[in-house]
Chain A
Amino acid sequence: MRSLTLPVLALAAAAAATVSAQSTDGASSSAATQSGKLVKLCDNQTTVRVPNGTPQTRTEGQKISDALMAQWEAKHPGNDWVAEELQAHTVVAPDDNAKLIGATQPSTYGPVSAQDVKVWDNETYKFAVYGSTVFHSGEALGSEIAVSCDMCHPNAANTHPETYPKFQPQLGRVVLLRDMINWCIEHPVRGKVLEPDDPKMRALEAYILAQRKGVPLDYGRR
């Protein structure tokens, strides 16, 4: 599993020591009865109080950071849905573009940086991982009979996206992967068909294709 960046949460903290997590309503935290410095998270709501005289070391700073993040995460369950999904289901990672970093002949937008590659990688992977959540959820697919794609296609097995387009006699026309996805949604899954540009359809295609990374295209194959 690769590392995924959390929403960036800058700390306003400067000093630190043993950190006491604080109830997050701003009114009580401003009470003068409490000593120490009030440190706020960038959401302007989450706070911890740091006792006066806390040593200004990196270790103590990390404690403040951890205490703030623990509170934030408790208030935002499911914020790290990508990591959660990857714990449950394998999603094949996209191609590694690190070889392009700092290459010669820069493009119009300048040379490729490590950050560029990280963004491409994160965004692409996240899209396929979102597809995995839809693929594994009868609810997300709108199934009336609690059926999801993975029931017949664990790890998207036997979806063979590389064989499309091909003529499908039962549908009387040449079909693309999305036509078969929609057929399955309508019939075995008994949900409502998705528009071709529906984010769920696009993500399903991304997930299914991602699982066949490296398999040669072979359109028309039965």
Chain B
Amino acid sequence: MTTKQRPATTHSGQLGRIPHIKSVETRYLEEREALFRGLKGLDRRSFLKVATGAAGAAIAAGASYPFQSFLPVNVASADESRPHWTFAYISDSHLYDKQTNERFVRQLLRAVDDVNALDPQPDFVFYGGDLAQLGRKDQLDLGAQILKAVKAPVRMMVGEHDWFYDLGDRWKELFGPEHYSFDHKGVHCVVLMSVYERDFWTARALTPAERMHTVAGLDDKIQSRFEVGAPQREWLRKDLEKIPASTPLIVFSHSPLYKYYRPWNFWTDDAEEVQTILQRFEHVTVLHGHTHQVLTNRIGNIDFHGMLSTAWPWPYAPEGLPALTVQMSRPNPFDANDGLGDGTVTVHPDGLVDKLYALWNRNPMQVKASYLASGGKQDVPTAPLLASY
């Protein structure tokens, strides 16, 4: 590009011209693109498909990763210290039907592209709940149809947005029981239904649609608090009875299995009771959806990680943020996909996990097991540029 020197303005009082430079965003995106071109010799189309996944894989494999610039990254060491196994996650897509809102549909499709582009492929893709926005059949069916395009096996968890229209009927028809457990490569995995609510609808004579709408409002005070409930806690106790304490445990719950912020149901009312059941195990990791943000906590022997949403980000709550959480930067409203994403979890042979938040259009954030184990002293994630208000 040839740039002609513009004649300098001489009128007194006129503001000086802004020099012709590329914006921060343009330079950032060019640097990022240059990195991935250099990595794999990709054309632009492939680059767009794999960018997030490749960044995640490079980081997960222990590549040194300068967070402020993409240029000097060395990924030659990417194949050393191969992790035991990985799984990917997608969460909180909040789909309406296609006609009502195609944006949330496109965003879920982007996440599906991300996990399909992962190389090597994850052992499975975990879906963290809130596939639908208002629990309707057409919304759940649409989600199920889109998730069929995921190449790896998909494991499902239910969220409150999937549940409170028909109290789980359609979701269970599509995806099976709302709580279950399975073993994978020496790790015992438990999927909970943590978003039961005490009946607030009968006394108010709410219709199913009104009940669902009430639960769908994060700051709606009429609804009850989330809970796992006594019957399921009993099921969990029985499920874990025969598992030795040395077996690594990964528990999935839609709401955080601790008490973060009650007014927004960033909360599970019987969290302590569930934690008590888990305390016996040496290595426990809980992954939860619902909070739509980078969120890290550790209580006793239990590590907690949030999952990103593909629909919209939530702000950090005004109080109760766990001390170990390094916030993601405040999402930029001018970028419709900022603060959103998906991610991967690397499970080490000892059962501890490194959690990768693959934020779209941003550098990924990784929260390592060593960060939690050291009480926040080692491998501290990079601080955000713009914190929450």
Query: Which A positions have Cβ atoms within 8 angstroms of B?
Result: 87-90, 136, 145-147, 150-155, 157-158, 160, 170, 180, 183-184, 187-188, 222
Contact = CB atoms under 8 A, between A and B. Distances in A.
Interface stretch (B34-42, B45-53, B308-316): B308-316
Contacts of A187: 333-334, 336
Contacts, number: 68
13 contacts: A88-B214, A89-B221, A90-B219, A90-B221, A146-B100, A146-B101, A150-B219, A153-B315, A154-B315, A155-B263, A158-B315, A187-B333, A187-B336
A184 B219 contact: no
A157 B389 contact: yes
A191 to B, nearest CB: 13
A89 B219 contact: yes
B336 A188 contact: yes
Interface string B190-221: 00000000000000000000000010011111
Main secondary structure of the interface of A (DSSP, over half): loop
Contact of A158 (B218, B264, B336, B388): B388
A151 B312 contact: yes
A158 B133 CA distance: 22
A149 B331 CA distance: 15
A88 B389 contact: no
A59 to B, nearest CB: 28
Given A89-B219, A136-B217, A187-B336, 8 more contacts: A89-B221, A145-B101, A145-B103, A146-B101, A154-B264, A158-B315, A158-B330, A158-B388
B222 interface: yes
Contact of B101 (A147, A170, A222): A147
A119 to B, nearest CB: 27
B73 interface: no
B386 interface: yes
B50 to A, nearest CB: 28
A97 B236 CA distance: 55
A89 B220 contact: yes
A139 to B, nearest CB: 11
Interface in B363-389: 386, 388-389
Given A87-B221, A89-B220, A145-B103, A152 B315 contact: yes
Contacts of B103: 145
A79 B222 CA distance: 19
A152 B221 contact: no
Main secondary structure of the interface of B (DSSP, over half): loop
B165 interface: no
Nearest to A161: B389
B318 interface: yes
A158 B318 CA distance: 9
B96 A183 contact: no
B367 to A, nearest CB: 22
Contact of A87 (B101, B133, B222): B222
Nearest to B388: A158
Interface string B309-344: 000111101100000000000110110100000000
A154 B101 contact: no
B226 to A, nearest CB: 15
B263 A90 contact: yes
B333 A154 contact: no
A170 B312 contact: no
Contacts of B317: 157
Interface in B215-236: 217-222
A51 to B, nearest CB: 32
Contacts of A89: 217, 219-221
Contact of B96 (A87, A90, A145, A153): A145
B386 A154 contact: no
A146 B152 CA distance: 32
Contacts of A88: 214, 217, 220-222
Nearest to A190: B103
B313 A152 contact: yes
A157 B386 contact: no
Contacts of B101: 145-147
A155 B389 CA distance: 13
A158 B389 contact: yes
Contacts of B218: 150-151, 154
B311 to A, nearest CB: 8
B219 A152 contact: no
Contacts of A90: 219, 221, 263
B100 A145 contact: yes
A189 B236 CA distance: 41
Nearest to B104: A145
A204 B318 CA distance: 21
Contacts of A145: 96, 100-103
Interface in B36-79: none
Contact of A155 (B102, B219, B330): B219
Nearest to B264: A154
A179 to B, nearest CB: 12
A152 B312 CA distance: 6
Nearest to A222: B386
B315 A157 contact: yes
Nearest to A157: B315
Q: List the 9 closest pairs (A to B, CB-CB), nearest first.
A: A158-B315, A154-B219, A145-B101, A154-B218, A157-B315, A170-B334, A160-B389, A155-B219, A152-B312
